Structure 1
Amino acid sequence: MNYCGVLNIDKPEGLTSREIVNHVDRLVRPAKVGHAGTLDPLATGVLVVCVGHATRLVTLAQEGRKRYLARFELGKTSDTDDITGTVDAGGEWTHLTEDDITRLLPLFTGRIAQVPPQFSAVHVKGERAYHLARRGETVEIEARPVDVYSLRLTEFQLPGIELEIECGSGTYVRSIGRDLGHRLGCGAVMTKLRRTAVGPFEVSDAITLDSLTPETIAASLQPALRIAQHLPQRVLSPQETVSVRRGQAIRLGIPLSVFEEGGPLQTSEPACVPRAALVDADEVLIGIGEVDFTTSRLHPRIIFPN
């Protein structure tokens, strides 16, 4: 069977994202498998796994806004910024009030400059930061711009707090807690993390890893179009479908107003080049096209085979 589609998996605690991909890979071989956004072993929740030709859409899936519920313990610090690292005592926290925390949250909302954790996958001197950290090296990691769309205190039970976060790609939730703890003067480490959504994929609709078997995998796959549902759709005629599969541009066929800034997007940030999902009359995804406003044409950039 030729598998193609996307899985919304509720990742359990203790497993790496790679282990989830390996499990799916054993069920769909020789189809390719890839995930859209790593979750650490400590974390649970939505892991978007692309299968077959849908792996060409991994980058598109990664653009989706993420939502998290994260728990932190005040009065502690850690070399990993979470409970899995070497934990040290921080400052005094017993005097803190709920207002002390909520008044600081706007500082971490919007487009902010964030320093990733020492134990992270960012590249430093040509190596992953976590490789350097495991060798005992402390390196200077430059701050990067990230987008935090909302940040809300959902539980206050000292020394524990819980935050609900909606953010863009590349945001480290651990770093938000670390920097908040620094501002409070007591430190903070993340103790739990649950990703509740990635773009259109909600944890309430996710499937468990245990439910994936050779008998259920096909029925569990969602259409690849689900990944691109935030894009404008261009329905192709049979002849246009042939042209697109040949890599030929077609007329735009979509009002320009659809691509104006401020349109409805479920991505973490607007794309540099406006795109459209190319679908046939049966709403099957044929590919992704980029818009050329000078010629009012769509140029195929990702093309699915028949």
Structure 2
Amino acid sequence: MQQEAYGEVFLIDKPLEWTSFDVVKKVRNALKIKKVGHAGTLDPLATGLLIVCAGKMTKQIETFMGQEKEYTGTFVIGATTESFDLEKPVIPVSDPSSISLSQVQEAAAKLTGNILQIPPMHSAIKVDGKRVYESARAGKEVKMEPRPVEVREFEITRFERNEIDFRISCSKGTYIRSLARDMGEILGVGAYLKKLCRTRIGSYKLEDASELQSLVEELKNRPHENL
């Protein structure tokens, strides 16, 4: 196998509860080459489009990571969690029954455009050379500085009782969990991310992605000379 000549990009629908690295490891083992990486982490509790690059295409990872992302999902208002998603236990905050659709839309408008966002403590960002989720799990507080991001679209697609469905397109580095927290603060009742799916990266769409296990089986059955 001439690995230096081989390069490929895979669009994968990441399964729920898998880490992005779990997916990379599966593809790496199926291809039997070391040079495999993903172009943008998805949290274990998120699903959707993960771009995995192999061989010489790993040089394109930064290019893919810089492209616009689109997500759909659900926020729950009236409560929060330490991680702003369901990784941590739900903490009730305030009765959301008085919140109206117009208030939700106004909150979304305030979080649209060029904004400063504080990333979650339970994230893979490095501070002083250490990933902040490692510090959070060890019970250590890390000061997170606000970072500029761009939320290009923030559409509310459903609002029913305490659940808000959304579609968001945004720049690299935007945390949807942080948007949940910020929306909860604007509404004054708390919020967390219940469900998240990445539907697009640049021009690459989830509907063109492969189911992981099917892709792995296909790669395992490839003749080596095709690599």
Shorter-normalised TM-score: what interval?
Answer: over 0.9
1:31: how far off? 4.9
Q: 2:194 aligns with which of 191, 196, 208?
A: 191
**Residues 55-66 of structure 1 correspond to what in structure 2 (within 5 A)?**
55-66=58-69
What residue ranges of structure 2 are gaps of 5+ in the alignment? 223-227
Larger Rg: 1
Measured in 2, the distance between the counterparts of 1:11 and 1:26 equals 17
Measured in 2, the distance between the counterparts of 1:7 and 1:213 equals 11
Residue type matched to 1:213 in 2? V
Q: Residues 215 and 101 from structure 1, CA distance in 2 versus in 1: closer, same or farther, beyond 3 angstroms?
A: closer
**Residues 59-138 of structure 1 correspond to what in structure 2 (within 5 A)?**
59-138=62-141
Q: 2:157 aligns with which of 136, 151, 154?
A: 154
2:207: which partner in 1?
204
What residue ranges of structure 1 are gaps of 5+ in the alignment? 220-306
1:214: how far off? 5.1
Residues 3-38 of structure 1: CA distance to partner in whole angstroms, max 9, x if unpaired? 411000000101000000000001112251000000
Measured in 2, the distance between the counterparts of 1:46 and 1:63 equals 15
Q: Residues 157 and 123 from structure 1, CA distance in 2 versus in 1: closer, same or farther, beyond 3 angstroms?
A: same
Task: Answer whether contact 1:79 1:86 (CA < 8 A) is retained.
Answer: yes
Task: Answer whether contact 1:70 1:194 (CA < 8 A) is retained.
Answer: yes
Measured in 2, the distance between the counterparts of 1:139 and 1:199 equals 32
Measured in 1, the distance between the counterparts of 2:217 and 2:124 equals 33
Measured in 2, the distance between the counterparts of 1:169 and 1:37 equals 9
36-45 vs 2-11, which moves further: 2-11
Measured in 1, the distance between the counterparts of 2:114 and 2:134 equals 28
- Same amino acid, percent of matched pairs: 39
Q: 2:45 aligns with which of 42, 45, 52?
A: 42
Residues 1:24 and 2:7 aligned together: no
Measured in 2, the distance between the counterparts of 1:138 and 1:92 equals 29
CA RMSD of aligned residues (A): 1.5
Residues 85-110 of structure 1: CA distance to partner in whole angstroms, max 9, x if unpaired? 13211112001110110012121111
Task: Answer whether contact 2:117 2:146 (CA < 8 A) is retained.
Answer: yes
Residue type matched to 1:188 in 2? A
Q: Residues 216 and 122 from structure 1, CA distance in 2 versus in 1: closer, same or farther, beyond 3 angstroms?
A: closer
Task: Answer whether contact 2:26 2:216 (CA < 8 A) is retained.
Answer: no
Task: Answer whether contact 1:70 1:173 (CA < 8 A) is retained.
Answer: no
TM-score calculated relative to the size of structure 2: 0.92
Measured in 2, the distance between the counterparts of 1:93 and 1:140 equals 30
**Greater relative contact order: 1 or 2 (C-alpha under 8 angstroms, separation 6 or more)?**
2
TM-score calculated relative to the size of structure 1: 0.69
Task: Answer whether contact 1:6 1:54 (CA < 8 A) is retained.
Answer: yes
1:213: how far off? 3.4
SS at match of 2:216: coil
SS at match of 1:39: coil
Find runs of 4+ consecutive structure 1 residues off by over 4 angstroms: 216-219
| Structure ranking higher in helix proportion | 2
Residues 1:6 and 2:9 aligned together: yes
Measured in 1, the distance between the counterparts of 2:75 and 2:220 equals 36
Residue type matched to 2:159 in 1? F
1:216: how far off? 4.5
Measured in 1, the distance between the counterparts of 2:123 and 2:70 equals 19
1:125: how far off? 3.0
SS at match of 2:104: helix
Residue type matched to 1:158 in 2? R
1:210: how far off? 1.4
